[in-house]
Structure 1
């Protein structure tokens, strides 16, 4: 395992990328260039950064059939017993899911990867290292700042657009709520009442999934990974119910655990409209941390105690992905 030292020479290869990135951000802030139309989308820029040196930056183990690795920066494992702890110990994070998803995305070399709920960005970093353009969406500034450090060390900031919003089915104000102090990846968004907004310093504004799709060039395929702690149902509702899709998404990797276990609160129509939307949109379902093909009938019959962590949905017209057989 390679530990990246914070020395001047580590960043030398990223100086040109940094200068270009800073110049573009400054032009955007001065309204000299406006690359995107939707003012609700909050792009990460210089004024957002509160510099905090990561506890460690390390090179990952190889991922995908191409054996790509990346440098990732993280907080202390005591603060994050999941992502940070795994990379600190040199383990392979979501070893099967990341490989299956990224190998699938690589079947469309020109595809954009949408990492919705990116956390500190392992999927984003791996996709960018595979030469995909990436939009990573996460409302937590500390996650985005750590990811920016990683992007700089990998020298691929030009491949990635960082968006600092929550995703839902409406434009609203929210605040983060982290129930487990050792698991920041499980941070949920709590919708605020209007009168709360002025007194809350942690207000986060939600946008719609369609606002993110708007950032992808037309006729460009999209590989979507979505993990937004129970808002997946709301975020995808319009896309799944639309007869004409805004963009072609051959592969969708989505966390199902929260909307399955807490369907009454987070996705009342989980077993009906939600899965109906995938089925009617032409997606073939796979289930589990090691994705195996299943049926919608099986998914609808699972009890709360049998909820899968993830679902992997492959469009019937997509290139068939390579699965991992153990």
Structure 2
């Protein structure tokens, strides 16, 4: 693993460091340093305009942190830290995993302003299912952290004159956790299945993992080839004692609905301390950032 200390991070001078809008049941807010809109219109731009980005899913992280303030939060695909900083404010230790060093530098600036920089670690790595060299591909989303990576078999798609990143596996990270509990967020730009799939049978052996949040739309809609045998992965989660919930409305999902392209889903372990969750699947209409609108009726 490539762990960076503060002095090893790139030098950044954020133009904006703001207090977010409150999120979650306990109305948690925190300080976050942002990029210019020209560099990151998606996340930094949204926070500048609205005070928060993806408030529902960040609220989930904040509420879990409230229940588990002594836990470690593992943020895979941390970007500029919208989830890492919420967990940090809740009192958790944080491991921010992000291949782009500049993004980690922005998180560091925020953590220092919060006087919590002693509780966060920075890993500059890509996370996958094996150890290999991974190459960045062009980011066309105007999202300062929305970078995808390919291995040597697909290196023809890589950006020219770029250095590869050494991938790690989630077990490498878990071995360094020094708290009895940890909760995980995975936003790996389509590689989410590869990050967690092989580790599911090993969950809760040494460190208890009550919650896992995954960016789901990339798994089922954008990059399905990266998640072969998704039915097996879902069943592995269920066998391991986890139940899926849609993150925006915190609604329980049955096996038929879990393949909808929700933005994010939460896997909740049966023994977890429970945040506020909807045990039923009520009728609702949800408009997602990917343009998908779902009209769903109540289960019988």
Aligned CA distance change for structure 1 residues 244 and 66 (closer, same or farther; 3 Å):
closer
CA distance in 2 between partners of 1:63 and 1:244 (Å): 28
8 Å contact from structure 2 (residues 28, 62) kept in 1: no
Aligned to 1:258: 218
Aligned counterpart in structure 2 of residue 147 of structure 1, from 107, 111, 129: 107
For residues 213-245 of structure 1, give each alpha carbon's deviation from its aligned partner in whole angstroms, at most 9, with x where no partner exists.
Answer: 111126x11111111111111111222133763
Which of the two has greater helix per residue? 1
What is the root-mean-square deviation of aligned Cα atoms in Å? Answer: 2.5
Larger Cα-atom Rg: 1
8 Å contact from structure 1 (residues 48, 141) kept in 2: no
Report the Cα offset of residue 316 of structure 1: 0.8
| In the alignment, structure 1 residue 286 sits paired with structure 2 residue 240 | no
Aligned to 2:294: none
CA distance in 2 between partners of 1:205 and 1:143 (Å): 18
Report the Cα offset of residue 99 of structure 1: 1.3
Report the Cα offset of residue 157 of structure 1: 0.7
8 Å contact from structure 1 (residues 174, 203) kept in 2: yes
CA distance in 1 between partners of 2:223 and 2:95 (Å): 28
Report the Cα offset of residue 264 of structure 1: 4.3
Partner SS state of residue 175, structure 1: strand
**Runs of 4+ with deviation above 6 angstroms:** 194-197
Aligned counterpart in structure 2 of residue 276 of structure 1, from 226, 229, 235: 235
Where structure 2 has 5 or more consecutive residues not aligned to the other structure, the ranges are 285-300
| In the alignment, structure 1 residue 162 sits paired with structure 2 residue 131 | no
User: Number of residues paired by the alignment?
Assistant: 278
CA distance in 2 between partners of 1:64 and 1:243 (Å): 26
8 Å contact from structure 1 (residues 79, 181) kept in 2: no
Aligned to 2:38: 78
Aligned counterpart in structure 1 of residue 167 of structure 2, from 167, 182, 206: 206
Aligned to 1:309: 263
8 Å contact from structure 1 (residues 97, 291) kept in 2: no
8 Å contact from structure 2 (residues 108, 117) kept in 1: yes
Report the Cα offset of residue 84 of structure 1: 0.3
